[in-house]
Chains A and B, each alone.
Chain A
């Protein structure tokens, strides 16, 4: 390349719009969240510095730890189930049978459709008296009366997980399918000549070679699920009696519902700390996997 300095200048000129945009809309708000978390900001324009008071209050209140644990449990189950169903889906869609292309296209709707609209559909499915799930269970005589899935804490908790899984599965399936197809065919052929069965080949060839894809997808999905807002907000709004309240919902209610910006910001900072930890793990995993490939 000609003069390095002018090349660097050119590169930064190309980057400038993106950098400025992200600095104003993401980096500054991130900084502002931290600053606000040490103030008693509310709806009125003036506010004071209060030090660690917000943090003491939220951790002193008792239910915050409970919310953190619930969020982690919610995320863990949602991500694990997504990975398992996504892997099953990828295996099924990878099979060389007629109709393959149509099946692959039919997998995509939950991912393409605006999230909120899919969630409204689930809201009806969960309707206790007239929704499809309760209705079919009654018609087949599996349950005696209607089951209002969203009315009880434990069923509502799982109902929101099922919907989150439903939204996430297409992405995971397509990603796993792509990873599966990038595995060299001759590996399978060689194993087949040696008499290895289908299940054995899946366990000893497909699964190990897909490990990088599985780890990447799990971490990306972990972050997306942890940050999930729409599903719980629309289906249960955190209820009944707070039993589906995750950290995001809790932060939203504190900040936007009660207009306690300072306290809300302190909660958001705790979320950011969790997300940062996930990020670190993700970056390390990416680097590790990259090195593994280089060998």
Chain B
């Protein structure tokens, strides 16, 4: 670095980061502490930040309060996984087409995909509901998977295209000269090289699919056996009072699959995001 920080600058930086991270993490800290408190303590005054006689009881009791909880978590995980598989399968060839072929209308199509990104599922809910009903998909996994994947495809095409543009074109051409077919080139030359980019797209899609499950599940599914966690958590809102400690415990357990994915693939993610972002 060019100029060193003065000691008071270092103090200010750490103080700033502390405030910033507190804002970012406060709901998680509070949520975790709530999950440790007995329900009676939650509804007593004065408010105490730190739990007294904290225990992990809620993490055990929640399975009895909401018997289908395990299924909700599985459903969320399952829906996200299928969405990710669909998106990757559709996006890889499309991104390659945009990265390598200068066909007529390529720019226009690319722009159209970008525009799709701007319309949220919430705006198109009425016709989507009619469509899902018409196809007989209401109250099935598909009602959440099919529209879910659609809204994640465009941004993934853009991200992967950017990545593929950086793979030297000469590699494809050399393979063609050697007599390889186009499909063979894509499979044997480009796919292995694009793998890190594809991994980033897959993680982003997984996170996105997990995150967007609320509105489609709320509208297109009323069967608890297919319900994903975000809507399934409504089960903790009892008739009398909300079982907040168990709700928070269930939230943390539900986050776990995503967290595991992130922790393991964090380095790819940051690298991929940075590359995509700077390129834009």
Contact = CB atoms under 8 A, between A and B. Distances in A.
A33 interface: yes
B118 A107 contact: no
Contacts of A115: 211-212, 214, 230
A26 B115 CA distance: 11
Given A92-B13, A95-B5, A181-B274, A21 B130 contact: no
A114 B126 contact: no
Interface string A95-130: 111000001111111111111111011101100011
Q: Which of A18, A107, A252: most chain B CB closer than 10 A?
A: A18
Nearest to A177: B274
B153 A117 contact: no
Q: Is the interface of B mostly helix, strand, loop or mixed?
A: helix
B51 interface: no
Contact of A132 (B45, B49, B233): B49
B233 A117 contact: yes
Interface stretch (A2-10, A53-61, A150-158): A2-10
Given A114-B229, A169-B24, A88 B31 contact: no
Interface in A197-243: 198, 213, 216, 223-224, 227, 229-230, 233-234
Query: Residue among A8, A121, A175 with the most chain B CB within 10 A?
Result: A121
Interface residues of B, number: 101
Interface string A1-31: 0100001101111110111011011111110
A170 B130 CA distance: 36
B120 interface: yes
Nearest to B104: A8
B47 interface: yes
28 contacts: A7-B101, A15-B94, A17-B89, A17-B93, A18-B93, A21-B90, A24-B131, A29-B124, A29-B128, A29-B131, A30-B127, A32-B126, A32-B130, A33-B124, A93-B17, A110-B27, A114-B76, A120-B247, A125-B26, A130-B44, A135-B46, A136-B47, A188-B2, A223-B118, A233-B214, A256-B126, A264-B126, A283-B114
Query: What are the 7 A-B residue pairs with the smallest beta carbon separation, nearest first?
Result: A135-B47, A116-B230, A25-B150, A29-B127, A32-B127, A227-B120, A11-B101
